[in-house]
């Protein structure tokens, strides 16, 4: 008999595209990078307690941004899924080259520290932790910068990105080989996502004025600590907010102990992955999603988590698979509305920390993510059910996710929100 378990596969990418202004000249042929090599995890030596404190600061800022972004996306219909951590790292690398009002707006939107050394060491520690090897789950992040060959970027900017963010530079010719450059970047994206995300950068987004493309990819694949059995998955109704029902494959797990909380507005359950270092928090409203929105804040979520207790729960969770793509650029685009329009302004943007001149602006920010929760892998041994059956009798709760819910994938030790999503329709 084959063993099976549920797993979640997540791919998330953030792309920033910088363009230069018309009429600026530079000498072609200068080589800044060493080819299309993948970034390594940065290694910074420092006092352990200080590093952990600095890592917590950047994680707290990323978590705040996670909920800020949700508040801007929640009015959109359908499923939502993104990685606040991926976006925060990508914009931290952008912030390194920003100056003046441009930098202040980015700092405010992403809640970055104005102490650059704290910011750098904090992100270095977080990226190193994500890329640690010898884990029973797969969690990794890669950063790469794609620079116009010959453009006079400041060596210290690329040096900072490589030292603290693990990002290396690959040189492309956007001026003469725009389409080839687009294909090379998209192929790198495919390689980082097991070919799940293709054609991330559409045609005509890059042009002869493109000077820098900044990419961040984060990937997670894990198996549940308490595994679902495929034979227990049955077709069931899922009630969409409009009142319409759709049929979905509903997974079922009986009589397992989880961290659990229930109040007048919601049910909250924590579903850990193998090794119990990463977990999924599922916030299930008792009525509609509006009831849980007050809890979607960093401090409120921390308060809820502190009140959770071990309880025996029957869990009904739909299988789901979907991808999302957000074009966030433009002065009136999503990030502009959140408070950083200057970065997208041809006349006002200041990224002189990248090249010593005010001739760059952000043309586009593209964020794409893919998530799949399905059943394959290994099955819990029969002895597990027996062991659970002989534990002391506990009050049993039922967690039935048969209507829209919010889920959060977190790294438990640091509390970092890796991914945040809303399942409005698992059949999509």
Give, as one character, the DSSP assignment of residue 301.
H
Interstrand relation of 309-318 and 396-400 (parallel, antiparallel or unpaired): parallel
Q: What is the pLDDT of residue 334?
A: 95
Q: What is residue 36's DSSP assignment?
A: S
CA dihedral 332, 337, 342, 345 (to 10 degrees): -10
Q: How many CB atoms lie within 10 A of CB 285?
A: 18
Fold of 7-222+321-372: Antithrombin; Chain I, domain 2 (3.30.497)
**pLDDT-derived band of residue 35, with 50, 70 and 90 as boundaries?**
very low
Structure tokens at 384: 């597990």
Least confident of 218-232, 288-302, 309-323: 218-232
Residue intervals in the chain for CATH 2.30.39.10: 226-319+379-423
Residues 6+ apart with CB under 8 A from 217: 11, 12, 13, 86, 141, 142, 143, 189, 192, 193
Tell me how far apart the alpha carbons of residues 110 and 92 are, in angstroms, rounded to a whole number. 8
Q: Distance (Å, rounded) from C-alpha 420 to C-alpha 428?
A: 18
Residue 318: is its pLDDT beyond 80? yes
247: its two tokens? 């049929």
Question: In this structure, are residues 327 and 365 in contact, taking their beta carbons and an 8 Å threshold?
Answer: yes
Q: pTM higher than 0.85, yes or no?
A: yes
Burial of 399 (0-12, 13-18, 19+ CB in 10 A): buried
- Encoded tokens for 304: 């809820």
At 48, the pLDDT band (50, 70, 90 cuts) reads low
Lowest mean pLDDT among 55-59, 135-139, 410-414: 135-139
Which option is the CATH number for 226-319+379-423: 2.30.39.10, 3.30.9.10, 3.40.50.1860, 3.30.70.2500?
2.30.39.10
| Residues in a beta bridge with 14 | 216, 367
Give CA–CA dist 181/176, Å, rounded. 9
Residues linked to residue 270 through DSSP beta bridges, in sequence order: 259, 281
> What tokens were used for 92?
């931290």
Report the length, in residues, of the chain: 428
Alpha carbons 119 and 389: distance in angstroms, whole number: 49
Q: How confident is the model at residue 46 (pLDDT cuts 50, 70, 90)?
A: low
DSSP string, 242-270: TS-EEEEEEEEEEEEEEEEEE-SSEEEEE
Q: Which residues, 6 or more positions from 361, have their beta carbon under 8 angstroms from its beta carbon?
A: 18, 19, 21, 343, 344, 345, 346, 349, 351
Beta strands, E only, 273-392: 278-285, 309-318, 320-327, 360-375
Question: Which of 110 and 217 is assigned the larger pLDDT?
Answer: 110
Distances (CA, A) of 46 to 19, 115, 123: 36, 16, 13
**Please, where in the chain does CATH 3.30.497.10 lie?**
7-222+321-372
Strand partners, 228: none
């Amino acid at each position: 008999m084959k063993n099976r378990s549920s797993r979640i596969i997540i791919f998330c990418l953030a792309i920033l595209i910088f363009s230069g202004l018309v009429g600026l000249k530079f000498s072609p042929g200068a080589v800044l990078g060493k080819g299309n090599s993948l970034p390594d995890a940065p290694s910074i030596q420092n006092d352990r307690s200080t590093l952990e404190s600095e890592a917590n600061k950047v994680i707290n800022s990323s978590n705040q941004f996670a909920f800020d972004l949700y508040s801007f996306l929640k009015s959109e219909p359908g499923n939502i899924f993104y990685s606040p951590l991926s976006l925060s790292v990508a914009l931290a690398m952008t912030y390194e080259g920003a100056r003046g009002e441009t930098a202040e707006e980015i700092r405010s939107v992403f809640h970055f520290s104005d102490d650059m050394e704290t910011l750098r060491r904090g992100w270095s520690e977080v990226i190193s932790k994500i890329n640690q090897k010898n884990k029973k789950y797969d969690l990794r992040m890669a950063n790469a910068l794609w620079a116009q060959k010959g453009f006079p970027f400041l060596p210290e900017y690329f040096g900072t990105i490589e030292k603290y963010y693990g990002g290396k530079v690959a040189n492309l010719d956007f001026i003469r080989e725009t389409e080839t450059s687009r294909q090379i970047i998209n192929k790198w994206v495919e390689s980082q996502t097991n070919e799940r995300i293709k054609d991330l950068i559409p045609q005509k987004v890059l042009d002869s004025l493109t000077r820098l493309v900044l990419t961040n990819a984060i990937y997670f694949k894990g198996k549940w600590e308490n595994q679902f059995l495929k034979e227990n998955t049955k077709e069931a109704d899922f009630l969409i907010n409009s009142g319409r029902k759709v049929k979905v494959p509903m997974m079922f797990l009986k009589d397992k102990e989880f961290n659990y909380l229930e109040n007048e507005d919601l049910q909250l359950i924590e579903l850990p992955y193998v090794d119990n270092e990463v977990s999924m928090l599922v916030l299930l409203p008792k009525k509609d999603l509006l009831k849980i929105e007050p809890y979607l804040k960093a401090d409120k979520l921390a308060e809820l988590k502190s009140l959770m207790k071990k309880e025996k729960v029957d869990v009904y969770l739909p299988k789901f698979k979907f991808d999302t793509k957000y074009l966030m650029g433009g002065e009136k685009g999503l990030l502009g509305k959140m408070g950083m329009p200057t970065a997208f302004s041809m006349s006002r943007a200041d990224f002189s920390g990248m090249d010593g001149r005010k001739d760059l602006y952000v043309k586009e920010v593209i964020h794409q993510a893919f998530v799949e929760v399905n059943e394959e892998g290994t099955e819990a041994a029969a002895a597990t059910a027996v062991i659970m059956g002989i534990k002391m009798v506990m009050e049993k709760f039922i967690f039935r996710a048969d209507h829209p819910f919010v889920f959060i994938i977190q790294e438990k030790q640091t509390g970092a929100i890796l991914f945040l999503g809303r399942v409005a329709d698992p059949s999509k």
